[in-house]
Structure 1
Amino acid sequence: MALTRIRLRPSGIKPRCVWSTTVKAPAWSPDSWLRQPAHLCWLNDEGLRLLPFARGAKVEQGFAALDAHGRLPEGAIAELIHTTRMTHCFALAHIQGVPGYAALVDHGLAALRGALWDEAHGGWFADATRSGGKSAYLHAFVALAASSARVAGRPAAQALLDDAIEIIERHFWSEEEGALRESFNRDWRDEEAYRGANSNMHGVEAFLALADVTGNALWLQRALRIAERLIHRHAAACGHVVVEHFDAHWQALPEYNADNRADPFRPYGSTPGHAFEWARLLLHLEAALTQAGLVAPDWLLADAKGLFASACQHAWQADGAPGLVYSLDWNQQPVVRARLHWVHAEAVAAAAALVQRTGEAAYEQWYRQGWAFITEHFIDLHGGSWHHELDEHNQPAARIWAGKPDLYHAYQAVLLPRLALAPSLATVLAADVTRR
């Protein structure tokens, strides 16, 4: 598989900003993009370009999905996924000192304590219609948003954080399984007979943040148990291909959603984007455990490398065209050939984490190639934000994701390469800003 190696040329132009990192650089090449002020400033500028587009998602009861032009469709309603992710991202912007985002964080917190909160049974509704069940996936994002808002110093954050922790511990965390249960009906009486890697992956992300804001290392131990089950036990045994779907007894369901292969949250087969995301989270977990004085197993790094290698090998140009396909079958053949922005965002973030952790040149090459593809195909300098989906010919499409509703993946992709692997994103941003 050919890689494009890109070299920076000295320009003599002084960059507009210098972003300091919070860790000593490993022995990577001195021409790494992660050590180039111009590249770090480019990441910063792209983040600042993304933020104003996302402001349009505000509705009375939270944040809703934007169309491809950054407008609210007629009848747009607040959704939990967008309200939590926008609140999280706007909190990160406020922590960095970007003016105008504190009020948006507070708006998100008010929605999460109001229109989206189920005052009768506890937990959060999926949207402002206040119907449906309660999922671990969405509740993990509530915990993440509350954690980031707490680091941002927003007054309502602590109460939300307390509620999120209480709901996770009462309903979703299974001490016996060492993982999250998937979903329940509104009154918590009926549980779905399913276990998902996606919800547990975002549980790891949330638990890393909770460990930082609470000072309780129990969340790190829980994150490690999830990672051990999903990755070290299952994915590693399958050639570092993430197994996504399980029954309630953790028996794999390889044919799950075979009749709904392009599902945006539970697609059939394997999802290379999640392999990249898991790889990065394993490195964050390793760093967090080490920082806390706890034992970080050697398999965290080994499995992170294995996941990244497997996803690159099987998903990049899997159908002959550049880019990473959305999903693969169990013979590593493309199922859904669409290129999704979040998959590529997670690929560059994972590559950056591996560059930081190992200093190995191969990850630098993947990092550069990933950004080259994103800038050519996803970044929309005319319409704003990033195209969320491309078809198999790398042309904008909307078969899986209509519009441009998501800030979370793209914004984190421009933040993470500039920062240490631990503590978690909001906390490390706050510490970095403090030192400058």
Structure 2
Amino acid sequence: MGEALPALMVPASSWLRRSPHRRWLDMQGQRLLDFSRPSRVACGFAALDDRGNLPPGASADATLGARMTHVYAVATERGLPGCGPLAAHGVNTMLGPLADHENGGWFLTPPTEGQPPDAGRKQAYLHAFVVLAASSATVAGIAGARRLLDKALAVWERHFWSEEEGVFRESFAADWSDEEDYRGANANMHSLEACMAVADVTGDPIWRNRGLRVAERFIHTLARDAGYSLPEHYDRNWRRLDDYNRDHPADPLRPYGMTPGHFTEWAHLLLKLEAALLRADGRAPAWLLEDATEMFHNGMTAGWARDGAPGLIYTIDWNHEPVVHNRPHWCQAEAMTAAAALLKRTGHRRYEQWYRTLWDYIDTFMIDRRHGGWIQELDRDNRPSAVVYQGKADLYHAWQATMTPLLPLAPSFATAVALLENHGMARDTPEIPNYFGTSQKQ
């Protein structure tokens, strides 16, 4: 598929301009799609083990299912056989067994005999992915996708969006009572991603503007005030919870301390938001580029090879000392994606070097050529580990890492793929305009 590199920005020697590298990315992406196909189960998608098999008693996970639906919907738009039925299965299960048909919204696991699962709370993190999946499936023309998107947006706006705070609320009980006394960066980061996708699919700029408010709160205010580090846990009065999960430092969603991989993930999303705003009306706050640059460099300084071995570690404490040394695959994928985005945005060769370094690391240590997929986590000596993540559940981060270097920063993922594929853009032709250079403060 075509890459729309901003003219004159990326050096001629960049891997991003080389056809063999782009073919390699495409091949790796298709290997990942094939590996994850067996994750389909009756009520959605379930986590695979290290060999790519469903373990005994595997059950549907709604977050995993929404991510799978998003990925296979975009792959459908690319014209890859077999992906459409998987995306349709995801849409059908989110409209069916994974939904709360009494109160609205979605649970992490299917209800049993109409009753919510144990601790059946409605999570902002999950709902952001349901919105993303529905928007991508709508672009791909999957049956029922627009109905799912309308349902998801109604729930998202009514229950999760806080107009007063400019962020998404965290979680509720099954009947939307008992709002959690928590505000978290992780769920809001993925909500920003979904906001940009929805704005492109619906044409409603309010979602893009809401994404900007999320970024302004968490990055331009909280992270900037912390020296471009990001404490992720707060109560509903925005008091920092510095001891949050101190006894569970390797929690997969809310770990103690700070997460350098999220610093870099935010950097990529800020650049996408800047490009989206410029594409929409030619204006974007100047701080988006500045903050993206600072977040990336701080994340790599705080997390890369902190114990002498390559790889981006999972978490650090408030003094930037390592807490969990393990290297999750998604941290490497997001750092690489951010490096590619900064390279496209600025043309600076240091980002080319990071881009190559991170892909060399992923290829050397994480791509599993024996059993397939990517190893989800490595220890401090870069040996397979399962302290934070077990098996090979996640397709989303790894597959997007093979795709985003080939895409423009705007529009959002599924819409960009649709534009490039449907308009037949050549790989080496920069057909999407360069939206940079006109950025100004709003």
TM score, norm. by length of structure 2? 0.93
Contact 2:6 2:344 (8 Å CA) reproduced:
no
**Cα distance per residue 1:376-406 (max 9 Å; x no partner):** 0000011100000101110001111110000
Q: Distance in 2 between matches of 1:281 and 1:166?
A: 24
Matched with 1:52 is 34
* Matched letter for residue 291 of structure 1: R
Q: Please say if 1:393 is aligned against 2:381.
A: yes
- Secondary structure of 1:47's counterpart equals helix
Shift of 1:254: 1.6
- Secondary structure of 1:66's counterpart equals coil
RMSD: 0.9
Shift of 1:29: 1.6
Matched with 2:307 is 319
Shift of 1:294: 5.4
* Matched letter for residue 139 of structure 2: V
Q: Distance in 2 between matches of 1:413 and 1:276?
A: 13
Shift of 1:23: 4.3
Matched with 1:99 is 81
Q: Please say if 1:158 is aligned against 2:151.
A: no
RCO higher in 1 or 2 (8 Å CA, sep ≥ 6)? 2
* Matched letter for residue 357 of structure 2: Q
Matched with 1:40 is 22
1:262-301 equivalences in 2 (<5 Å): 262-293=250-281, 295-301=283-289
* Matched letter for residue 122 of structure 2: K
Matched with 1:181 is 169
* Matched letter for residue 107 of structure 2: F
Q: Which of 386, 391, 406 is residue 403 of structure 1 equivalent to? A: 391
Matched with 1:419 is 407
Q: Which of 89, 98, 117 is residue 71 of structure 2 equivalent to? A: 89
**Cα distance per residue 1:195-231 (max 9 Å; x no partner):** 0000000010000000001000101110000000000
* Matched letter for residue 318 of structure 2: W
Q: Distance in 1 between matches of 2:9 and 2:198?
A: 31
- Secondary structure of 1:335's counterpart equals strand
Matched with 1:126 is 108
Contact 1:26 1:357 (8 Å CA) reproduced:
no
Contact 1:182 1:196 (8 Å CA) reproduced:
yes
Shift of 1:28: 2.6
Contact 2:9 2:345 (8 Å CA) reproduced:
no
Shift of 1:239: 1.5
The structure 1 segments of at least 4 consecutive aligned residues displaced by more than 4 Å after TM superposition are none
Q: Distance in 2 between matches of 1:431 and 1:145?
A: 18
Gaps of 5+ in 2: 425-442
* Matched letter for residue 289 of structure 1: L
Q: Which of 224, 246, 249 is residue 258 of structure 1 equivalent to? A: 246
Q: Please say if 1:22 is aligned against 2:4.
A: yes
Shift of 1:426: 0.3
Q: Which of 225, 237, 240 is residue 249 of structure 1 equivalent to? A: 237
Shift of 1:434: 1.3
Q: Distance in 1 between matches of 2:2 and 2:27?
A: 15
| Bigger mean CA deviation after superposition, 287-296 or 379-388 | 287-296
**Cα distance per residue 1:68-109 (max 9 Å; x no partner):** 011111111111111100000001110111011111111001
* Matched letter for residue 242 of structure 2: P
Shift of 1:435: 2.1
Contact 1:390 1:396 (8 Å CA) reproduced:
yes
**Cα distance per residue 1:19-68 (max 9 Å; x no partner):** 42234334332100111111111100100111111101000000011100
Q: Distance in 1 between matches of 2:258 and 2:228?
A: 11
Q: Which of 324, 327, 331 is residue 343 of structure 1 equivalent to? A: 331
**Cα distance per residue 1:353-391 (max 9 Å; x no partner):** 000000001111000000000000000011100000101
Q: Distance in 1 between matches of 2:264 and 2:6?
A: 24
Q: Please say if 1:116 is aligned against 2:98.
A: yes
* Matched letter for residue 59 of structure 1: V
Contact 1:230 1:243 (8 Å CA) reproduced:
no
Q: Which of 61, 67, 75 is residue 43 of structure 2 equivalent to? A: 61
Q: Please say if 1:71 is aligned against 2:59.
A: no
- Secondary structure of 1:97's counterpart equals coil
Aligned length: 418
Q: Please say if 1:305 is aligned against 2:287.
A: no
Contact 2:304 2:311 (8 Å CA) reproduced:
yes
- Secondary structure of 2:322's counterpart equals coil
Shift of 1:321: 1.2
Contact 1:277 1:346 (8 Å CA) reproduced:
yes
Matched with 1:3 is none
* Matched letter for residue 108 of structure 2: A
- Secondary structure of 1:292's counterpart equals helix
Q: Please say if 1:140 is aligned against 2:140.
A: no
Matched with 2:191 is 203
Q: Which of 373, 378, 382 is residue 361 of structure 2 equivalent to? A: 373
* Matched letter for residue 222 of structure 1: R
Contact 2:328 2:378 (8 Å CA) reproduced:
yes
* Matched letter for residue 32 of structure 2: L
Contact 1:91 1:152 (8 Å CA) reproduced:
yes
Contact 1:80 1:125 (8 Å CA) reproduced:
yes
Q: Distance in 1 between matches of 2:12 and 2:143?
A: 43
Contact 1:22 1:419 (8 Å CA) reproduced:
yes
- Secondary structure of 2:94's counterpart equals helix
Contact 1:231 1:242 (8 Å CA) reproduced:
yes
TM score, norm. by length of structure 1? 0.95
Gaps of 5+ in 1: 1-18
Contact 1:140 1:202 (8 Å CA) reproduced:
yes
Shift of 1:322: 1.0
Contact 1:348 1:370 (8 Å CA) reproduced:
yes
